[in-house]
Chain A
Amino acid sequence: MEITFTPEEERFRARAREWIEANKPTDPPIENDLKARRDFDLAWQNKMYEAGWAGISWPKEYGGRGASLMEQLIWYEEFASAGAHEPSTLFVGLNHGGPTLIACGSEAQKSFHLPRILRGETVWCQGFSEPGAGSDLGGLSTRAVLDGDDLVVTGQKIWTSFANIAEFQELLVRTDPDAPKHKGISWVICPMDAKGIDIRPIRTMAGHQDFCEVFYDEVRIPRANVVGQINDGWRVAMSTLSFERGTAFLSEQVRLTRMVGELIELAKQTPLGGAAASAGDRTKRTIDDSDIGRRLAQMRAEVEALRAMTYRSVSRTARTGVPSSEASLIRIFFSELQQRVHALAMEILGPQILEWDADEQPITTALGTKRRRIRETWVFRWLLSFASTIAAGSKDIQRNIIGERVLGLPR
């Protein structure tokens, strides 16, 4: 049992830290300027690629770094600790689409798409959920009919982040309506500029517009874009989801630890009752309140335990070579902790949270463009945290997975 890293791993850490610190981009665009975010993320990705840091978990033969599990862990820790900009518009390509092609794609699919994803040339989005198929993803009904060398797709997808700035989509369609529901699905690469696609942004409760719904009206996609076999899409999709529950969440855990540190600082700086309170004891800091103090201490302990949990999970994966279903345990603990942390921020801040502008816009002044980034506000992060027990498998589904797959309870 060891909690330290080897000298070689520590050298890797030093190199990663040095490079990230020297190269991390500053001044990212505002939340709702999606076009600018796309350009910014692609440029950052390209910079990482040129320096040999792109695709940290991707095999070398596909242009990735082929880093060991420990190196991946170190990279994500350093990336998040440095507060480096997360290229979130590229998440699906780097962590879903790309890895799925690596696992199940044809040589032609791999050689076309993988370099483009890695070099920061294409944005991917996900077309899984539908209005009628959320937790019950297998019940999806967007249909695709084979017509010559094309699949003709008609239906609707929802919760598709960045659909309006993406080149490609990992799209699940029903190709055999008569088969049992998990047997009639295919996984297709959908070019987002195809005729018949209509994209409408959805505004979230946090005010931003990363989400879209996507409508398909007899969209023709070449049959060659099917990944794996026709009607084998469920298996292909599951290989994607296991990536999603793997190492890709490491850096958000490190960010949460940073967030708790920031929250402790916030409680030291904020008078009890909030800075904007007109009454109340202004001489007492929020951190001096015994209830707030204990809750912060509990959270500090919990983020530390989260790291230990992740280390144990990575240790297990390093032993067995496969991502473990225990990742669901971490996911539940992380997502609920994230919500508690942000809810406590609202209590610490008090009435000052009431003044907040969800409609962030660039404000042009004589001195240039002044921009307010809502992502840097506690209110935005708090509102965003509501998604963490819904996205990538709701907490209820995660608890089913733990109950059935980890504990072996009957369905």
Chain B
Amino acid sequence: MKLFHEQLLAEIVDERRRMSRRGVLTGSLKLAGGAAVALSLAAIPGTQSIRHVVAAQEMTSDLDVLNYALTLEHLEYSFYRDGIGLFTFGNDSRGQSIDTNFAAIRDHEGAHVETLTSVITELGGEPVAEATYDFGDAYTDPMAFIATAAALENTGVSAYDGAGQYISDPELLTAAGSIVAVEARHASYLNLLTGVLPFPAAFETPLTMDEVLEIAGPFIVS
């Protein structure tokens, strides 16, 4: 049997091919917010198959949750690693260097990838590898870069919040909490850069794995 996350990734890649053939992917990626991307993708019947595989296989172990988290951290880390340096953003409204702050965010995501990888290995699991990604116009348009970063971070918070309940080891739960707080801090800052309220609601919106994959899936090529 294929590993849980391998099957998910394969499903995402198939889905992406179907969507890009229909020419809808480019259009949906131009939308700034993660929620808008999710909405537009939810309208596409083809995403049903991702829902199907997720419904069929719930996260049943801490390793599943950790690999799910690692899938998202790989996505985030590679986004910043490959994109930072393409633009110079200057200072934010408080006079802080946006470029320095982006570098800090990249380093955080790198640390999350390393930590999750080593924990999965220590638990006897097989850490999911980095995939190949396509971030659309985020690497050619600086505003799209910031908007994509904001979408990734806000989605990351919702993903951890939705997955926390599947963790059974108290120490892992605390560790996940200490990561999601940092994602929320990133999201707050990136919202500020995009002109969105840093804290748009009194409560975060937890997302299920299928909802998260609808948003993140289109970025994953293979």
Partners in one complex: no
